A and B are shown apart, each in its own frame.
Chain A
């Protein structure tokens, strides 16, 4: 049981390049989330999904797109990277069950640098 995994762990992009971050969870969770973490700030929600085939915007969605084609995977895309997107990106998932749906389980994070 790996929990939540993220690929890659590190990445350096040039301005204007594109990339996709992959998040996978093996806990059969309904809900998945993408956050970014910047120095001196808490996590900010980029996009989230409440089930396979669904996505919704969070607090800071601009410049990002997401897809949830399979329940276990949640992809975060950057179409044209900008230096302002330099950050650490976290994926999380949570269950729908009444006892556990409020706890989010996190992946190890991806450090992205845009030069």
Chain B
């Protein structure tokens, strides 16, 4: 069975610093999708970035980028120039290509300090 592990329950950094959130997963699939979702205090779940496993190039979305290491089954999220509005829970999620179900990590609480 697929599992997703986020080993950092909580992190805090100063505003404008760069922070990296870790995520590892376990699967025997060769084709799949990985996601990072953000959940601010409002509770709304927001997609931050996605990565297709067949793509070697790491995905980027403005200040957000990933380091996807397929062989190591690692999918970390880097937030550059962190802002107060980045304070949230961040969840890593895995989706098999053959179905549409997301498997979620337990989340990392990220606090950006002014």
B100 lies within 8 A of A31 (CB): yes
B43 lies within 8 A of A88 (CB): yes
Alpha-carbon separation in the docked complex, A2 to B73 (Å): 36
Given that A90-B45, A109-B43 are contacting pairs, would A42 and B93 also be in contact in the complex, using a CB cutoff of 8 Å?
A: yes
A43 lies within 8 A of B100 (CB): no
Judge whether A78 is part of the interface by a CB distance below 8 angstroms: no
A94 lies within 8 A of B100 (CB): yes
Question: Size of chain B's interface in residues, with CB distance under 8 A?
Answer: 21
Cβ-neighbour of B33 out of A31, A43, A102, A106 (below 8 A): A102
A93 to nearest B CB, angstroms? Answer: 11
6 closest A-B pairs (Cβ-Cβ)?
A42-B104, A106-B45, A43-B104, A109-B43, A102-B33, A42-B106
User: Could you name 27 residue pairs across A and B whose Cβ atoms are closer than 8 Å?
Assistant: A33-B101, A33-B102, A40-B106, A42-B4, A42-B91, A42-B103, A42-B104, A42-B105, A43-B91, A43-B93, A43-B102, A48-B100, A48-B101, A50-B100, A58-B101, A90-B45, A92-B45, A101-B100, A102-B35, A102-B50, A102-B95, A103-B47, A103-B50, A104-B47, A106-B45, A106-B46, A108-B43
Q: Which chain A residues have a beta carbon within 8 Å of chain B's beta carbons?
A: 31, 33, 40-45, 48, 50, 58, 88, 90, 92, 94, 101-104, 106, 108-109
